[in-house]
Structure 1
């Protein structure tokens, strides 16, 4: 009988405790909103930079727009929020208001991601390029997010610019040593504004064949095509299965 009384007392005690807890105001945990940047690549890949050559876009005369994604860690909000963007002046040669501008730095209401435009200008860049490195800057609305995606780089100019991964990717195997004139010939022959993903070997093999045929046709009716250094341009056969054939 005593055991039954003790058991009942324990149940009643637990009931009071649970009732007290349910009446307490226990706030839910929420992370501070944070921001990070991403540059979409081909497919689902990401890249660290965009390299843009104005001559590769013959329909563009004075200006164009580059895009990157500003992404948030945390919850969306019912109001527009300010995106903090810091220019790393030590690693930047482009001048805001002269070489580029940001038309918008806003995360729209109820959004987790915003496409942020950078308008870039061609004027004053004949035969040269400029570099812009941006970083996430803490704002009244966002703290800094992932360190890995804290910065993004943009390079553009009124010349054919070498892709930054040319020498360490399949590009060098498919097209050889880089030169501006060779790159211009490649893009023109393939009707491209930039090369495909360097990991897409079948695509590189296809474009390698297009360029070799175009080079044969050109050299058949002109002196051998040379680059800006006077070297004869050569494109060797490339095999997707094993590199250069």
Structure 2
């Protein structure tokens, strides 16, 4: 008899549990939310911010387009939905209509995410940069999703901008290329035929580009006055890609 009572209690408890779960799922489906993600490159799936240097993209004469993903928590819908995007003006120096334009704020029908294009302008940014922080804004179709992913940060300028990972302890940029300077960074990108450096944790790639930059510097100094920057003569230590040390 006691065993029967226990079984009945278990069945009732399981029933209540499933009922509560079904209610939570139904509420979640009826309460779609939005979050942002900036795609990474290489072994880095996502990045916290995107830094863009116009001089590293010679084909982008006056404008270029940066992208991020607006992703939903919930079900797709058979109609277009509005994506709420706001500019955090307190943490931004970029001015909408002057430095950038958001081309679309629509999640297409039956989609779980949309690629959002931001057209950025080069004009007025010679030797300086601007910062743009976009944040999820509640709209008629979506509430705010993951707190961690409720913003997307972009920095661009008509100058060679320092990658945000250059001086981080787990980054190999500084070990491979030394103290940052615009002159040095411009030389690295040009000699390695890059628009940005690879993932700073990719030892093999960083070691390869270190070797390419060193060889290019030898050729340059043989045919020109030695390359210098505000720190003096530019040089690169040998970086073997072992434990982050040359």
Q: TM-score normalised to the size of structure 1? A: 0.87
Which sections of structure 2, spanning at least 5 residues, go unmatched? 1-22
Give the 4+ runs in structure 1 shifted more than 2 A.
Answer: 242-245
Among candidates 186, 192, 197, match of residue 188 of structure 2: 186
Q: Could you tell me how far 1:30 is from its partner in structure 2?
A: 3.5
Q: Could you tell me how far 1:28 is from its partner in structure 2?
A: 7.1
Q: 1:60 aligns to what?
A: 60
CA offset digits 1:138-178 (Å, max 9, x no partner): 00000000000011100000000000110011111111100
Which sections of structure 1, spanning at least 5 residues, go unmatched? 1-25
3-state secondary structure, aligned to 1:242: coil
Among candidates 221, 233, 243, match of residue 219 of structure 1: 221
CA offset digits 1:96-154 (Å, max 9, x no partner): 00100011000000000100000000001011000000100000000000000011100
- Asked whether the 8 Å contact 1:236–1:244 carries over to 2, the reply is no
Q: 2:156 aligns to what?
A: 156
Q: Looking at CA atoms only, which structure, 1 or 2, has the larger radius of gyration?
A: 1
Q: TM-score normalised to the size of structure 2? A: 0.86
Q: Distance in 2 between matches of 1:101 and 1:109?
A: 23
3-state secondary structure, aligned to 1:123: coil
Q: Could you tell me how far 1:239 is from its partner in structure 2?
A: 1.2
Question: Size of the alignment, in residue pairs?
Answer: 219
**1:243 and 2:244 matched:** yes
**1:29 and 2:26 matched:** yes
Q: 2:82 aligns to what?
A: 82
**1:168-187 alignment to 2 at 5 Å?**
168=168, 169-187=171-189
